[in-house]
Amino acid sequence: MPVLRIRVSFLEVYVLDDADAWGTGEWFMRATVDGRNVGDPEHEFEAREHRTFQLEPRERWTCDVDVSAKGPGDTVLVTFRGTERDPVGSDEDLGEVRMLLRHPFRQEVDHWYQSSIVDGKRHYNVRIAVTIVEEHATTSLAGFDDLRVSRGHASATTFTATTAGTAVTPRVEICPVIPVPEWRRLPPRPAFPPTVASGTDTPEAARVPPAAGRPWNALPNPAVIPIISPTDPEFENKAARIAVTHYIPRNLDLSYLFWRVASGPVRLSGPTTGTTVVKAYGTGSGASDEEALIELRWRDASGPLLGTYRAWVGRVKRIHYRANIVSGPTNNSRVTNVTPDDVAMHIDCCKMYFWQAGIELVPDDAANGTWDGAVPVPGRPGIFTIRLTAHAGWTRRVNLNVFPLPVTRLNFRPGVLNMVYVHSTRQRCAAAVDRPGLRALSAQPWAVTRGADDVLARLAGSPSTSWVQPSGYMGDGTPGEIQMLLIFESRRGTNASDRAYARTRTPHLTQNDWDRLYAFVVPSIWSSLPGSDPLFSYNVAHETGHVLGLRHRGNGGYPNNPPYPASYPLSNDEVNNPAVNGLVRHGHPFLENIMTYDVLLSQDFDLIQAMVIRSHPLANTAP
């Protein structure tokens, strides 16, 4: 029995958005592992939306399980249930997470799991880690001496462990989605003999918490490898980092890893052998984006193939932005939750999100003009404050379903992304309200139209975008063409209010100017999350994605307010996984894409999304 003991840790709880919630909640959490109670079911947690509470002390919420006596078919049941204890009325069930760990207990996890839906609501996500504490592996693949490549037939890529004589092909994954989704949502992993050690994630598989000052390339495995000069002073922080995310067995001798460029205008920089992470940069003119394939092999260029990584190579595209913080005419209507420093931090946090698509957000200079009483914030280029003298409703409880919204035209410059921070919105969320230019994308070579309104992007090739299955990755089936539905275009400038405004601007605005007003609205009062929290940056990245043409992916678009449409939980952008690994068909990735609805995990843009947003006029036309 190779795995002898596992450890289950309940780490933290993330309180989900609940549009119907009133007030804070007093939550109690109860956990069990293999029938044993874990944690403190009497501890009261104050639950506030979009906030996380830690399950501490850690040792109390951790449980080791001896699985040495378990055999084929045996399982370990892990449960986690929340209850809201009402001091006066009856308690409310907040839903449960159930995990069934199966023999031989070789899958380690560290993931966020969604609670079950209770009375039409999903209340929380809980982070649970399962680690292997003790394992007895009798087949060693620890070194080259213990491992040889079988060359018994053409194109053979089979490793044979000399100690046991069993044919073993190590599994090495270079997952394009970061953070890496739970293993059940990935292409099936091959079965290994029980005598082979289990696998492990690398640090690069994990979520990268947003924070100011992170390097451009903080997120590994980007969709785009940027064309940059190796003499760029920030080269180390800008070159794409291509990384192994998981490998089996965990005692694989990583010193034999060998990276090489298989195709495309890419070069590798720094060590290319004996490392799980390699740096890559694009070369050439970048007149148009090209595909590249990077290979990971065993020992050298002729060694067995362990994995491939597919990316676009292209020049860095720049999107100019203005962030306007709009305050109201009275003290109560003032934007108090977001400061210019907060906004600068949000944009800085977004740097890593957009760099993975080869896009840089660039502040628009105030010297290009200011309007509507906008005041540039000293030392914060691209950030302005606007104090309204009337129209408190342009910043407080802005109704996002009023179209066009007057507030998004304030201090806008055609061709510049207008990020509009208001006090609050009626819908208590952000929205990309001005999305012109999308119809033009239908002329792209990758585009196809459907009916009168729909524009879809198409992308074939292997491995597939986000490893949508079949992914083509190392034995997974040949991928088909992926199609992604784009969001609708919006147009404005024709109503009386916009027309009147156009005449007041110097110079007067033309329809062509209105057709280049790209804007989204962010409420400074967003749930219970303060503007100083880096998680707030998710709003900026997500809404910018909408402005650039993207719809919701995965669970996005169907927040915690069922009844869901019949199609739920398929992707709003129609990118879905088939039923695999015991899961029903669902949008993919379900939580980890920026266009999903998981503030914590939403970090990834994939190949097909990068293709679209890099084609958008905002990224290709100077303001």
To the nearest whole angstrom, how small is the minimum distance from the Cβ of residue 494 to other proteins?
11
Residue 477 or 569 having the CB closest to other proteins: 569
Nearest to 305 by CA among 197, 155, 408, 160: 155
Find where tokens 């379900």 sit. 590
Residue 249 or 531 having the CB closest to other proteins: 531
To the nearest whole angstrom, how small is the minimum distance from the Cβ of residue 349 to other proteins?
19
Burial class from Cβ neighbours inside 10 Å (0-12, 13-18, 19+) for residue 200 reads middle
Residue 200 or 483 having the CB closest to other proteins: 483
Residue 390 or 622 having the CB closest to other proteins: 390
Q: At what angle do helices 340-355 and 537-547 cross, to 10 degrees?
A: 60
Residue 48 or 103 having the CB closest to other proteins: 48
Residue 44 or 234 having the CB closest to other proteins: 44
To the nearest whole angstrom, how small is the minimum distance from the Cβ of residue 399 to other proteins?
4
To the nearest whole angstrom, how small is the minimum distance from the Cβ of residue 83 to other proteins?
16
Is the CB of residue 534 less than 8 Å from the CB of residue 603? Answer: no
User: Which residues is 293 bridged to in the sheet?
Assistant: 263, 310
d(CA 43, CA 39): 9
To the nearest whole angstrom, how small is the minimum distance from the Cβ of residue 217 to other proteins?
30
Residue 337 or 418 having the CB closest to other proteins: 337
Nearest to 187 by CA among 580, 585, 483, 576: 580
Residue 68 or 532 having the CB closest to other proteins: 532
Nearest to 188 by CA among 462, 580, 588: 580
Find where tokens 């592992």 sit. 33
To the nearest whole angstrom, how small is the minimum distance from the Cβ of residue 593 to other proteins?
15
Phi/psi region, residue 341 (left: phi>0; alpha: psi -120 to 50; beta: rest), is alpha
Nearest to 554 by CA among 538, 570, 530, 567: 570
d(CA 246, CA 230): 29
d(CA 487, CA 104): 45
To the nearest whole angstrom, how small is the minimum distance from the Cβ of residue 581 to other proteins?
29
d(CA 516, CA 620): 12
To the nearest whole angstrom, how small is the minimum distance from the Cβ of residue 58 to other proteins?
24
Residue 264 or 587 having the CB closest to other proteins: 587
Tell me the residue length of the chain: 623
Is the CB of residue 122 less than 8 Å from the CB of residue 112? Answer: no
Q: Provide the CA 9 distance to its chain's centre, in angstroms.
A: 24
Is the CB of residue 254 less than 8 Å from the CB of residue 277? Answer: no
To the nearest whole angstrom, how small is the minimum distance from the Cβ of residue 429 to other proteins?
6
Residue 356 or 425 having the CB closest to other proteins: 425
To the nearest whole angstrom, how small is the minimum distance from the Cβ of residue 442 to other proteins?
16
Find where tokens 């690994």 sit. 581
d(CA 14, CA 54): 9
> What does the binding site for other proteins look like in residue numbers (CB under 8 A)?
19, 21-24, 26, 46, 48-49, 87-89, 328, 332-333, 336-337, 390-393, 395-397, 399-404, 424-429, 431-433, 453, 488, 490, 495-497, 525-528, 530-531, 552, 556-557, 559, 561
To the nearest whole angstrom, how small is the minimum distance from the Cβ of residue 42 to other proteins?
15
Q: Concatenated DSSP letters for 52-112?
A: EEE--SGGGGEEEEE-TT--TT-EEEEEEEEEEPPSSS--EEEEEEEEEEETT----EEEE
To the nearest whole angstrom, how small is the minimum distance from the Cβ of residue 309 to other proteins?
33
Residue 467 or 520 having the CB closest to other proteins: 520
Phi/psi region, residue 515 (left: phi>0; alpha: psi -120 to 50; beta: rest), is alpha
Rg (CA), the chain: 26
d(CA 232, CA 239): 10
Encoding tokens for residue 273?
């052998």
Residue 315 or 334 having the CB closest to other proteins: 334
d(CA 210, CA 537): 8
Encoding tokens for residue 102?
């199966």
Residue 204 or 533 having the CB closest to other proteins: 533
To the nearest whole angstrom, how small is the minimum distance from the Cβ of residue 292 to other proteins?
35
